[in-house]
């Protein structure tokens, strides 16, 4: 007959080894593999804070690109920073899991070569310590020393590259990239590399017109924002790119907030508390750069994303005050569209100590 199990005594002393053991280390709030994107003091200082006033307003907010101060995020058309290698490694991981994050319709091959040429020219001119491009007729040699890539290929002959031209170059270029074809007095999203979008999907939007693509945005259609924006974009000339800001918020330092991954990140919005809001809520800013392509006459759309946690952002009290005021004036339909309703008030309360009434 087996002895009955021994029940623990209510006030029994813990075993010696257990009593001497250090307290368990709490699990980190930020995924370790994404913590490599944590911002340095330099990253914070050059962060593209998007608000010029205290009130929210939906505007096109276009300005000329590449005219910022030395060292700023908009010194050059295409900004790179210390996260370049980490971002490209993460892109490879996303593409390995979901190859449809890169797509190009067959008629976009000239646009692809235009884009490859533009990125190679700009990177090698603006960051010669990292990139070089040499040309002998159509025989080109490209070197990306950050990623250890060097290829010689024939411009215009895709069989001489390891991948399609747009796929090849945007695996080496920070940000998401969309190619728009201009025809029938409209702009059509007909190619792109989209691994870090904020709740949208290239696989869903590919082939849509400009206004179809922006269909879900509330209030702006009624105000005629997209009609005016499209007319402006179709007048952009080569060598005169423009840029604009877009913003939302993301929980955690999550780059891939695509529609395809909603089942992974959507529930994060329910986890915000007064205790973790500073660490978990991130302001997500897109610097969108729009150059005209020279040969195909298409329009390139770079979506260069930057993330900053509230803990990092509040190191600049003026930013904290302004963000709070903008959130207080944010219309409910826009807050719902951006997915902020569940935690917006928690963010406003967290930033209250920075309100000085001035």
Residue 160 three-state SS: helix
Residue 241 three-state SS: coil
Give the E-state strand segments of the chain in sequence order. 63-64, 102-104, 131-136, 139-144, 149-154, 176-183, 186-193, 242-251, 281-290, 299-309
Question: Biggest alpha carbon distance in the chain?
Answer: 92
244 is catalytic: yes
State both tokens at 40: 């340095």
Of 101, 145, 244, 322, catalytic: 244
Question: Strand 131-136 to strand 102-104: parallel, antiparallel, or no bridges (unpaired)?
Answer: unpaired
Proportion of the chain in helix, strand, coil states, percent, rounded to 5: 35, 20, 45
Give the sheet arrangement for strand 299-309, strand by strand.
63-64, 242-251, 281-290, 299-309, 176-183, 186-193, 102-104
Which residues are catalytic, by number?
244
């Amino acid at each position: 007959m087996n002895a009955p199990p021994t029940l623990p005594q209510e006030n029994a002393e813990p075993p010696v080894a257990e009593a001497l053991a250090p307290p368990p280390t709490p699990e980190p709030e930020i995924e370790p593999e994404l913590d490599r994107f944590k911002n340095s003091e330099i990253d914070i200082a050059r962060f593209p804070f998007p608000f010029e006033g205290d009130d929210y307003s939906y505007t096109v907010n276009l300005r000329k690109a590449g005219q910022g101060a030395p060292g700023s995020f908009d010194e050059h058309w295409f900004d790179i920073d210390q996260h370049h290698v980490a971002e490209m490694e993460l892109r490879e991981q996303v593409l390995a899991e979901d190859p449809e994050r890169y797509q190009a319709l067959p008629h976009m091959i000239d646009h692809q070569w235009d884009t490859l040429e533009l990125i190679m020219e700009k990177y090698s001119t603006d960051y010669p310590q990292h990139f070089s491009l040499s040309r002998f007729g159509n025989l080109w040699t490209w070197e990306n020393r950050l990623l250890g890539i060097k290829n010689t290929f024939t411009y215009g002959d895709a069989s001489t590259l390891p991948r399609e031209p747009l796929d090849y170059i945007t695996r080496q270029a920070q940000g998401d990239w969309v190619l728009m074809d201009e025809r029938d007095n409209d702009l059509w999203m007909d190619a792109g590399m989209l691994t870090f979008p904020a709740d949208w999907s290239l696989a869903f939007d590919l082939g849509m017109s400009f206004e179809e693509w922006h269909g879900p945005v509330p209030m702006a259609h009624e105000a005629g924002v997209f009609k005016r924006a499209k007319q402006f974009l179709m007048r952009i000339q080569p060598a005169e790119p423009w840029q604009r800001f877009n913003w939302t918020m993301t929980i955690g330092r999550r780059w891939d907030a695509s529609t395809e991954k909603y089942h992974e990140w959507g529930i994060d919005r329910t986890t915000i508390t007064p205790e973790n809001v500073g660490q978990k809520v991130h302001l997500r800013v897109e610097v969108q750069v729009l150059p005209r392509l020279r040969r195909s006459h298409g329009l390139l759309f770079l979506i260069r994303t930057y993330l900053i946690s509230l803990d990092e952002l509040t190191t600049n009290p003026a930013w904290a005050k302004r963000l709070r005021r903008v959130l207080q004036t944010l219309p409910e339909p826009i807050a719902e569209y951006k997915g902020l309703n569940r935690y917006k008030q928690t963010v406003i309360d967290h930033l209250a100590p920075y309100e000085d009434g001035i």
